[in-house]
Amino acid sequence: MASVKDYLSELRIQDAYKNLLILLAPFFGGKLFITDYYLNLALGFLALSLSSSSCYIINDIKDAPLDAHHPKKKLRPIASRKMSKPSAILFSLILQAVSLTVSYLIGISFLILSLLLFLNSLLYTFLLREIVWADVASVSLNYVIRTLAGCEIVHVTISPWLLIGVFYVSMTLVLTKRREELATLAKPELHRKTLKNYNIRLIDKTILALSILTLVSYSFYTFCSPYSHDLLPFTIPLMTLIILRFIIVSKNTGETGFIRKIITDKVMVVGLLVWFIIMFYLIYAKVF
């Protein structure tokens, strides 16, 4: 019988940071300090996190035979049979019901986006994950949906170039994870079937192409945003440095994971911090 710890493990709380993308719209929309939105932003984060957890459980149920070949995932409650499939399905349904209820309280538009997140995740689990490139695009689309959910909460429209940039960055991160799996797993195709159609050289070339597209999208954003008359276009060289550094970091991933590599890389951290300070100044200097 599954313990409380097992249920908490299936929530994947460590992956909830992905739903912080709902803060992207308030930040770039200049509404980060309007406290009237804080409650709905917190509820939105909760709703998306619960929906994501519900999808993770469904994915774990389907992946249980594959996860048995993964050095870490085989320890998950469902893969290790600590949690029965009926119990997992019921838990997933409860989480999704709560998520949709909270989403409805926020607003119909947010509810629709929450449903889209859930449906796209199901489509990925049962179909798109078996199709090369479509699997990466599907996961990346969820990041765009999360960003749009933040737009609905604070009632702003952010630049389409920013949304395109989110999509390209997401694809880059997903491919970096695929690269890590190819480099560290003995038989990666037993864990993820599409990995037999990927190879490190192909992924490296694609990451390079996506990095260029990300930089192009960001460049267009700097010239089309409300802050383009100021210092914003001059941040393009800084963003170039950050992206180039990421390419290097992505090729040096291992057992520690690429996320940990990124947040411990001094050049990446300093570059992102300087960029954030400049953006914060351009957007909010007049507020203070």
**Domain ranges (residues) in the chain:** 1-158, 159-288
C-beta separation of 222 from 278 below 8 A: no
Looking at the structure, give the CATH architecture of the domain made up of residues 1-158.
Orthogonal Bundle (1.10)
Q: Which pLDDT score, from 0 to 100, does residue 232 have?
A: 87
**pTM of the full predicted structure?**
0.92
Is 250 a residue whose pLDDT tops 60?
A: yes
What are the pLDDT digits (tens) for 164-214? 999 999 999 999 988 888 888 777 766 777 888 888 899 999 999 999 999
Q: Is 27 exposed, middle or buried (0-12, 13-18, 19+ CB in 10 A)?
A: middle
Calpha distance 26→284 (Å, rounded): 12
pLDDT (tens digit per residue) in 214-225: 999 999 999 988
**Angle, nearest 10°, between helix axes 108-126 and 38-67?**
10
Do residues 43 and 105 make contact, with C-beta atoms less than 8 angstroms apart?
Answer: yes
Using the predicted structure, report yes or no on whether residue 248 has a pLDDT greater than 70. Answer: yes
Query: Does the structure show a pLDDT above 70 at 287?
Result: no
Which residues, including other chains, have CB under 8 Å from residue 43's CB and lie 6 or more apart? 102, 105, 106
Please tell me the distance from the alpha carbon of residue 87 to that of residue 59, in angstroms, as a whole number.
14
User: Residue 252: is its pLDDT beyond 90?
Assistant: no
Which pLDDT band, with edges at 50, 70 and 90, does 254 fall under?
A: low
Given a cut of 60, whether residue 256 has pLDDT beyond it is: no
Kindly give, in sequence order, each residue whose CB lies less than 8 Å from that of residue 93, ignoring residues fewer than 6 positions away.
54
Residue with the larger pLDDT of the pair 270 and 69: 270
